[in-house]
Amino acid sequence: MTMIELSVIAPIYNEEESLDALYAAVTDALQGKIEHYEIILVNDGSVDRSGVLLDELAARDPRVRVLHFKLNCGQTAAVWAGMRSAIGKYVALIDADLQTDPNDIFTLMPYMAEYDFANGMRVTRRDTLVKKVSSRVGNGVRNWLTGDTIYDTGCPMKLFKLEVAQSFYLFNGMHRFLPTLAKMNGFKVIEVGVNHRERQYGVSKYGVFNRAFVGLMDAIVVRWLKKRTIRYEIKS
């Protein structure tokens, strides 16, 4: 059996306009750099033509695997399903609207020699002022509650080892806390600057309510989990 070096995961929800460009961007970034890879596209119950187009991509390229949810289950479920299906030595998370640059996988890859999880940090955000401010406030509150120091936990661009992915047990909303959860599971985490581009397709699936109130409640849960984490060492 061929060893897969990299699994690239993207959650998909009503992204029919961007799928061909997404596939082209990922394959262009990887070809010539990684010989054996897979692209896992998780259709989170899309109601447009995304499902049909995803199946067409998979039929054209055996490296593309598609997971279809019966119903819309949310981003955390889509991300987790992709991670549970991944078999690559490394796992990369990206978004489907091409605001993240797949080439940044290789910005993060060198850090895998020393770290287990590299979280992207959007250096120059190409978003509306409201989105920038709400994200900044949300990250600040999350860090205050969880005691973490991740500047941009919501950045979709992430790279980590397969054993990190396999260590997660996620609940709704937990995709916002993957670096913190990785640390709680004993892995080494670093944050690295990456590119961020203007949205080319579709609309954001999150509003101010999603980012503020819901994120606050999730942060309180993570804080509780962190305080209840069991740690022990066995004497030799």
Longest Cα separation, the chain: 58
Task: Return d(Cα 216, Cα 172) in angstroms, integer.
Answer: 13
Please tell me the predicted confidence (pLDDT) of residue 150: 74
Overall average pLDDT of the 157-185 stretch: 93
Please tell me the predicted confidence (pLDDT) of residue 59: 98
| Cβ proximity of 101 and 195 under 8 Å | yes
Query: For residue 218, is pLDDT > 90?
Result: no
In this prediction the pTM is: 0.83
Q: pLDDT (tens digit, 9 = 90+) per residue, 62-73?
A: 999 999 999 999
Overall average pLDDT of the 137-155 stretch: 66
Which residues, including other chains, have CB under 8 Å from residue 129's CB and lie 6 or more apart?
none
Please tell me the predicted confidence (pLDDT) of residue 225: 73
Report H helices in 44-161. Answer: 50-60, 75-85, 105-108, 129-146
Overall average pLDDT of the 121-140 stretch: 60
**Burial, 53: exposed, middle or buried (Cβ in 10 Å; 0-12, 13-18, 19+)?**
buried
Owner of token pair 């399903």: 81
Q: Where are the domains of the chain?
A: 6-227
In the sheet that holds 64-68, the strands lie side by side as 64-68, 37-43, 6-12, 90-93, 158-161, 117-122, 189-194
Query: For residue 8, is pLDDT > 90?
Result: yes
**Architecture of the 6-227 domain:** Alpha-Beta Complex (3.90)
Query: For residue 6, is pLDDT > 60?
Result: yes
Please tell me the predicted confidence (pLDDT) of residue 130: 44
Please tell me the predicted confidence (pLDDT) of residue 14: 97
Report H helices in the chain. Answer: 19-30, 50-60, 75-85, 105-108, 129-146, 162-167, 178-184, 208-209, 215-227
Residue 207 or residue 44, greater confidence: 44
Q: pLDDT (tens digit, 9 = 90+) per residue, 41-89?
A: 999 999 999 999 999 999 999 999 999 999 999 999 999 999 999 999 9
Q: What is the mean pLDDT of the chain?
A: 86
